[in-house]
């Protein structure tokens, strides 16, 4: 059982305050009956509607964010804005967290969810989930870089798993990795003498960055997108 206003806020973009006003105006029904109490306890199976439009209960939330540069991949920070600050307030659930990390200066696709099992599997190298990045570098790329990535780049503290480097132009490339260690793509390219000038994540497994999302914008995943991610990691 859960409070009605909390349930509606979690299933929509209404804030708790807006939900209370909708209820006061008689625009909310529970199992076909108009309700007057935001504090009413409702079961998971309750049929809730606002202005006659049914709301679907979602046990987990899955959000696609176009992360801009200059924002931390964190849930809170005292000195800098975080990705959670960009999410609409009604979606900021207690356990909502990023799936993997993008460093402060990297932009692009970031998934946030409170589904801990999916989060763990998507970030574990054991499940072989590809993450694809676009990079611009400060020195010309060479075929030797492609071979080095395929062999696994040795860094100071670990050796990267084999990765794919696709040269798009002398100073542009796509990098595909299955790990997500701190600054990994930047460090791999720097190890080859190719410092990164710009980095953007394009995909995670079957999920691609939505071209309609401007930096800082977000949306919920579709059911089809969630199912594709679950299938990709054996859920």
Region class of 117: left (phi > 0), else alpha (psi between -120 and 50), else beta: alpha
| Two structure tokens written together for 19 | 């939900």
Q: Residues 46-74: what's their mean pLDDT?
A: 90
Per-residue pLDDT of 94-150, as tens digits, reads: 688 999 989 999 999 999 999 999 999 999 888 889 999 999 999 999 999 999 999
What per-residue confidence (pLDDT) applies to 25? 93
Q: Residues 150-160: what's their mean pLDDT?
A: 94
Residue 103 is among the residues annotated as catalytic for this protein: yes
The yes-or-no verdict on residue 180 having pLDDT over 90 is no
Secondary structure of 53-82 in HEC code, one letter for each residue: EEECCCCCCEEEEEECCCCECCCCCCCCCE
Confidence of residue 55 (pLDDT cuts 50, 70, 90): confident
- Identified catalytic residue from 5, 31, 51, 103: 103
What per-residue confidence (pLDDT) applies to 181? 84
Contacts of 104 (CB under 8 A, 6+ apart): 69, 70, 71, 72, 73, 80
Three-state SS at 165: strand
Per-residue pLDDT of 6-31, as tens digits, reads: 888 877 778 888 999 999 999 999 99
What per-residue confidence (pLDDT) applies to 56? 76
- Residues above pLDDT 70, as percent of the chain: 99
Q: Residues 162-190: what's their mean pLDDT?
A: 95
Q: Which domains does the chain have, with CATH numbers?
A: 2-55 (3.10.290.10), 62-125+206-232 (3.30.70.580), 130-204 (3.30.70.1560)
Q: Determine the Cα–Cα distance for residues 143 and 166; give it in Å rounded to an integer.
A: 9
Contacts of 229 (CB under 8 A, 6+ apart): 62, 111, 118, 122, 205, 206, 207, 221
Q: Residues 28-46: what's their mean pLDDT?
A: 91
């Amino acid at each position: 059982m859960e409070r009605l206003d909390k349930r509606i806020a979690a299933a929509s973009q209404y804030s708790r305050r807006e939900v209370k006003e909708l209820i006061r105006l008689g625009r909310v029904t529970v199992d076909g009956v108009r309700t007057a109490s935001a504090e009413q306890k409702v079961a998971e199976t309750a049929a809730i509607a606002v202005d006659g439009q049914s709301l679907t209960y979602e046990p987990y939330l899955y959000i696609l964010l176009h992360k801009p540069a200059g924002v931390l991949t964190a849930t809170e920070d005292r000195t800098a804005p975080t990705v959670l600050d960009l999410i609409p307030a009604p979606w900021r659930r207690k356990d909502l967290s990023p799936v993997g990390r993008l460093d402060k200066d990297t932009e692009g696709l970031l998934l946030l969810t409170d589904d801990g099992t999916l989060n763990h599997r998507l970030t574990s190298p054991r499940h072989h989930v590809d993450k694809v990045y676009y990079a611009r570098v400060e020195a010309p790329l060479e075929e030797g870089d492609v071979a080095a990535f395929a062999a696994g780049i040795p860094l100071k503290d670990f050796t990267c798993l084999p990765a794919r480097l696709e040269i798009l132009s002398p100073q542009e490339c796509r990098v595909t990795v299955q790990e997500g260690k701190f600054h990994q793509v930047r460090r791999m390219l720097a190890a080859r003498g190719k410092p990164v000038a710009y980095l953007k994540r394009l995909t995670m497994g079957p999920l691609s960055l939505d071209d309609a999302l401007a930096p800082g914008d977000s949306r919920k995943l579709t059911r089809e997108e969630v199912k594709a991610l679950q299938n990709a990691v054996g859920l």
